[in-house]
Amino acid sequence: MTVGSNVKGSYFTVKSAEAGLEQLAIKTSSEEAKKAFYDAQYLLSNVREDLKKQVQFLAREEAQYK
Partner 1 sequence: MPDWLNIFLRSVALFFLLFFLIKLLGKKHLSQLSLFDYINGVVLGGIVAIVVAHQDVNFWHGVIALSVWFIFPFTIDYIALKSKKVRNFVHGKSTVIIQDGKIMEDNLKKESVSTDDLLEQLREKNIFRVADVEFALLEPTGKINVLPKTENQPLTAKALNIKLAPEKEPQTVIMDGKMQLEPLANLNLNPAWLETELAKLNVTIENVFLAQADNDGQLTVDLYDDKLSIPSPTEKPLLLATLKKTQADLELYALETENEHSKQLYKTNAKRLGEAIHLVEPYLK
Which residues here bind partner 1, judged by CB under 8 A? 3, 6-7, 10, 13-14, 16-17, 20-21, 24, 27-30, 32-33, 36-37, 39-40, 43-44, 46-47, 50-51, 53-54, 57
CB nearer to partner 1: give 1 or 66. 1
CB atoms inside a 10 Å sphere around CB 11: 19
Q: CB of residue 66 vs partner 1: minimum separation in angstroms?
A: 19
Q: Contacts by 20-25 with C-beta closer than 8 Å and gap 24+?
A: none
Residue count of the chain, please give it. Answer: 66
